[in-house]
Structure 1
Amino acid sequence: MIKIVVMGAGRMGTLIRTVAEAARTEAGEPAFEVVAQIGFDLSELEGAPAADAIVDFSNVATLDAVAAYVCRTGAALVSGTTGYSEEQLATLRALGEDAPVLWSGNYSIGIAALRHLVAQATRELPGFDVEIVECHHNQKVDAPSGTAKMLLDEVVATEAEVGAGTYEPIYGRSGLCGARDPHEVGMHSLRGGTVAGVHEVHFFGPSEEVTLTHRAESREIFVNGALAATRKLVGMAPGFYTFDEVMFG
């Protein structure tokens, strides 16, 4: 049984705990024991018992407390918190020197496949204009989503790989912005209602368009992926890992 600390007591944190406590191994035994769930009072994490892993889908403001817990206990860290600055991401990478750390903007297996397809389409549709559109519920605090940024990274990295030059994101357009630069990638964020998550990558070419779409019907797909990754990450050597490396490596 894997002992975990759940960071966050909102919708995602509550769902992670519910799914984790219901999860069973192949032998029918409980897969996880939640030894603590931390909400707004970060001081509770200072006294939380050592666990095999801490699963964090909370807020960027909790990073220092999470990092301190990992350093104190050596617990593996599975983080799905988005909106980190480059300095905060550097802190996460540095934690990988002492413990296995996984950070991903999305834990859906479908999104992992979408990223691979985006790279393939970028490679096979040279010269096509690329636009990324994401839609989430009206309570999401960061924009663009971490997943949209991951998809952007796939486009930029693939264009560089094939020698197409440097591509830059344009976050929305307004006013007399002029003709579209062929080396820009439009990033557009929609917010409303209770949408769990929709991501579209559009490739516009002469007289044709290709669109790749992923729709999340429930946040549970992210929880299932995060807990599956937790089971694999625990016991791995210290390091900073991607979702692909943990799940498919």
Structure 2
Amino acid sequence: MTNTPLRLLIHGASGRMGQALLRLAADHPDLQVVAAVTRRSPVQRVIDGVPHFAASELAGAPPFDVAIDFSLPEGFDPVLALCVERQAGLVSGTTGISEQQRQALIQAATGIPLVWASNFSLGVAVLDELVERAASALAGWDCDIVESHHVHKQDAPSGTALTLGAAAQKGGAEPHYASLRAGDIVGEHLVQFTGLGERIELTHRATNRDIFARGALFAARQLNGRAPGSYRVRDLLAGPAPASAG
């Protein structure tokens, strides 16, 4: 057992998720943010003891164990390439990546451990598994996914709804989607299975956006030391796996 902190590189540090990651990581002695990378040149080089780098300076970042990336698609390729070069893990929640970038993730997973997810809530990870199990057990039932978010969210259905839909399809269901934009709802996802005379509802409600940052930090801890591969958040819930695992 080692007491050495897990060294993190936060990519997209000026964004809402990046700021939450920096704030929450500072409260945990087992985590050390060795680099915070922002799109533009930082006003200060060191903020609260954390070195800051511009995206153009990414190659000069100090050694790290895992990079956590919540940036933009145009910034995704450099951080993935750096993780492959450094043989470091990658936790990414960057949305809107292209099919070419998805293929690059698949290739990178042959050499490093990584997880890309549309939602890092641990509750949603459990919901994903429950949806797949329900779909496989309830052949022929209707499957509907209703997602609700704040009025400023533009994409619909949400990425999480589509991920849950993929889990339903894996179980054999054909999901239908509905989207609601209202007020300041952080995020709610209802997956409903309906048969003759009965209905099952599986629901997750997010009331605080910090859950996504906490989930990403959890994923970074669990990913460190694992064998190369592409992991889902739900794969990490069982705890660390030995580095020699397939």
TM-score by length of 2: 0.81
Once residues 97 and 45 of structure 1 are traced to their aligned partners in structure 2, the CA distance between those partners, rounded to angstroms, is 23
Distance 1:117 1:40 in 2: 38
Q: Aligned-pair distance for 1:198? A: 0.7
Number of the residue aligned with 1:154: 167
Could you tell me which residue of structure 2 aligns to residue 178 of structure 1?
A: none
1:31 aligned onto 2:33: no
Counterpart of 1:246, as a letter, is L
1:143 is displaced (CA, Å) by 3.4
2:95–2:118 Cα contact (<8 Å) kept = yes
- The aligned counterpart of 2:229 is 239
Question: Which residue number corresponds to residue 27 of structure 2?
Answer: 22
For the structure 1 residues 66 and 192, does the alpha-carbon distance in structure 2 shift closer, same or farther, using more than 3 Å as the test?
A: farther
* Residues 7, 38 of structure 1: 8 Å contact kept: yes
Equivalent residue, structure 1, for 2:201: 211
Taking the aligned partners of 2:38 and 2:185, their CA distance within structure 1 comes to: 24
Answer yes or no: is the 8 Å Cα contact 2:76–2:94 preserved in 1. Answer: no
Which of 87, 99, 109 is residue 74 of structure 1 equivalent to?
Answer: 87
Q: Distance in 1 between matches of 2:179 and 2:39?
A: 28
**Structure-2 separation of matches of 1:221 and 1:135:** 17
- Judging changes above 3 Å, is the alpha-carbon distance between structure 1 residues 51 and 192 closer, same or farther for their aligned structure 2 residues? farther
Q: Tell me if structure 2 keeps the 8 A contact 1:82–1:142.
A: no
Is residue 215 of structure 2 the alignment partner of residue 225 of structure 1?
yes
Q: Distance between the aligned counterparts of 2:111 and 2:136, measured in 1? A: 37
Percent of pairs with identical residues: 42
Instruction: Report how far residue 195 of structure 1 moved.
Output: 2.1
Equivalent positions of 1:93-172 (< 5 A) are 93-140=106-153, 142-159=155-172
Matches of 1:61 and 1:199 in 2, distance apart?
29
Deviation of 1:86 (Å):
2.8
Q: How many residues align?
A: 220
Correspondence for 2:10: 6
Task: Identify the structure with bigger relative contact order (alpha carbons < 8 Å, sequence gap 6+).
Answer: 1
RMSD of the TM alignment (CA)? 2.0
Distance (Å, rounded) in 1 between the aligned partners of 2:36 and 2:198: 50
1:137-178 Cα shifts (integer Å, max 9, x gaps): 34445433222122111111111xxxxxxx6xxxxxxxxxxx
| CA separation of 1:84 and 1:52: change in aligned 2, threshold 3 A | same
Q: Deviations over 1:40-68 (max 9, x none)?
A: 23213232222111101222222112122
Tell me the alpha carbon deviations over residues 107-161 of structure 1, each in whole angstroms, 9 at most, x when there is no partner: 22211221222123223332221111212234445433222122111111111xx
The answer as to whether partners of 1:133 and 1:200 remain within 8 angstroms in 2 is: yes
Question: Could you say which residue in structure 1 is the equivalent of 2:186?
Answer: 196
Verify the 8 A CA contact 1:79 1:104 in the aligned structure 2. Answer: yes
Q: 1:57 to 1:190 in 2, by over 3 A?
A: farther
Code of the residue aligned with 1:52 in structure 2: it is: D
* 1:48 matched to 2:70: no
**For structure 1, which runs of at least 5 residues remain unmatched after alignment?**
24-29, 160-166, 168-183
Between 140-149 and 122-131, report the one with greater CA deviation.
140-149
Post-superposition Cα deviations, 1:2-29, rounded to whole Å, max 9, x if no partner, equal: 1111111211110011101111xxxxxx
What code does the residue aligned with 1:148 have? Answer: A
TM norm structure 1: 0.80
Q: Secondary structure at the match of 1:22?
A: coil
Distance in 2 of aligned mates of 1:214 and 1:157: 20
